[in-house]
Amino acid sequence: MKAATTERLRPIYTYRDCEYQLLEELPEAARVLDLGCSKGANLPILQGMGRSIFGLDVSMLDVRSAHKICPVTAGAGESLPFGADTFDFVYASHVLHHAQCSSVLREVHRVLRPGGVFFVIESVEDSPVMRLARNVYPKWGPYPVRSRFRFEELVTDLEGSGFLIQKKEQFNLFYWIWEVPQLLLRPMELLIPLVVRAEVAAVCRWRRFAAHCFVVATKSASAG
């Protein structure tokens, strides 16, 4: 996505500012895991400031591609191949619904150091359109949807796994639907400013039906 387009979409993707702030606050030489890194699109965002970045994905093809950016290993979130208290920051973008969510949360809690941060970006079924889409087509790309949850259900599961919730928010009410034809029909990019304004106005009123969310959770500093 072009930098100019990304900037125009910041009012929709509200997690970005929080994401940048958390990364800036990480100590030098922090150890960061991109859980479900795919081909590594988010790895450059996570790099910098002396951080040690690692990726993990179930796809060997994606692992080979992401390995060009940083060390990456093949593995599943339900059984992370890392020792306890290994990472300062674990990043998971649209991963949990493709896995056994509760098992992944327990594993992330295990590999995080006390005081470490778990940053989650997810699609949730508070949106009636998202529920319908998954009922009709319970698979996104090559990966099936293994866990279905609503926003507060995800938050409750995180708390039940021992995490402390620092920030939580739903976003993206309908832009995710419009984005598909916009990618296919490039002239529709001209409508982005108008659609963004409509999305921001709508989400202020009907945020509880938004299709995406982010959660900032930490492992208690006394855990271990």
Task: Kindly report, residue by residue over 129-187, the tens digit of the pLDDT.
Answer: 999 999 998 887 788 999 999 999 999 999 999 999 999 999 999 999 988 777 777 77
Average of pLDDT values for 118-126? 98
Output the pTM of the full model. Answer: 0.94
What confidence score (pLDDT) does residue 92 get?
98
- Which residue blocks in the chain are alpha helix, DSSP H? 3-8, 15-25, 43-46, 60-66, 101-111, 128-136, 151-160, 175-184, 192-206
In a domain, 131, yes or no: yes
User: Which pLDDT does position 189 carry in this prediction?
Assistant: 80
pLDDT band of residue 5 (cuts 50, 70, 90) is: low
Q: Which domain holds residue 142?
A: 3-173+208-219
Structural domain includes residue 67: yes
What's residue 141's pLDDT? 75
Predicted pLDDT of residue 224? 61
Do 118 and 141 touch, CB atoms closer than 8 A?
no
pLDDT, averaged across the chain: 93
Dump pLDDT digits (tens) for 24-77. 999 988 999 999 999 999 999 999 878 999 999 999 999 999 999 999 999 999
Residue 126 maps to a domain: yes
Look at residue 193 and tell me if it is in a domain: no
Give the total number of structural domains in the chain.
1
Q: Is residue 196 part of a domain?
A: no
Note whether residue 121 is domain-resident.
yes
In a domain? residue 28: yes
- Selection from 37, 92, 91, 95 nearest residue 66 by Cα: 37
pLDDT of residue 3: 54
The residue among 218, 221, 211, 178 whose CA lies nearest residue 197 is 178
pLDDT tens track for 182-215 = 777 777 788 889 999 999 999 999 999 999 999 9
Which CATH number belongs to the domain containing residue 127 in this structure? 3.40.50.150
Q: Is residue 203 part of a domain?
A: no
